[in-house]
Amino acid sequence: MGTVEAVSRSAEYTFTKPNEDAIRLVAGLGVDGDVHAGELVKHRSRVRRDPTQPNLRQVHLMHAELHDELNALGFDVTPGALGENVTTRGVDLLALPTGTLLHLGRSAIVEVTGLRNPCPQIDAFEDGLLKHVVGRDAEGNLVRKAGIMSIVLVGGEVRPGDPIRVELPAAPHTPLQPV
């Protein structure tokens, strides 16, 4: 069990998303009023490549523990600052397999589709930050720490303080890949 620490959205293409008292998730679309909501891809770089792709990035979740880690290094990172819609605490988001269901609050359910691939905009937010959200593990494999992406299966309102329940898919589990 984890908790929702903050919720954020932006109606415009901005890197940072302002915090809200609540957001409404809409099945098949994403966060109501967020620029990235929709059935088809909304991220500008992906739209340029193929605007007919399904939107696997409707809701961006990031663990508050990453904010804690970055702040301990001297950065100033708060919920929504790196563009996430839902800031979580107590769930190891990066270890979840593809297809995990996250029950947010009373009724909303999102399905995890993959990892967020950190982009150079992170360094534009705060110089030197990108190298701390992308690293290497002991075997030299690339590790992306900038959160996960999901689609909305069941809509509902999500607020700070709401519980998060994790429902793993049937085995075998598929590790997350960038989407």
Considering the domain boundaries, does residue 114 fall inside one?
yes
Do residues 26 and 155 lie in contact, with contact meaning Cβ atoms separated by under 8 Å? yes
Residues in contact with 93: Cβ distance below 8 Å, sequence separation at least 6, in sequence order = 61, 62, 63, 147, 148
Show the domain range for 65: 2-167
Q: Is residue 174 part of a domain?
A: no
pTM of the model: 0.96
Domain count, the chain: 1
Residue 52 maps to a domain: yes
Residues 6+ apart with CB under 8 A from 7: 19, 20, 22, 23, 85, 86, 87, 158, 159, 160
Report which of residues 99 and 44 the model is more confident about. Answer: 99
CATH number for the domain including 32?
A: 2.40.33.20
Q: In this predicted model, what pLDDT tens digit does every residue of 51-110 receive, in sequence order?
A: 999 999 999 999 999 999 999 999 999 999 999 999 999 999 999 999 999 999 999 999
Measured CA to CA in angstroms, residue 35 lies from 43, 83, 87, 88, 137 at distances of 9, 11, 18, 21, 34
pLDDT beyond 90 at 119: no
Residue 179 forms part of a structural domain: no
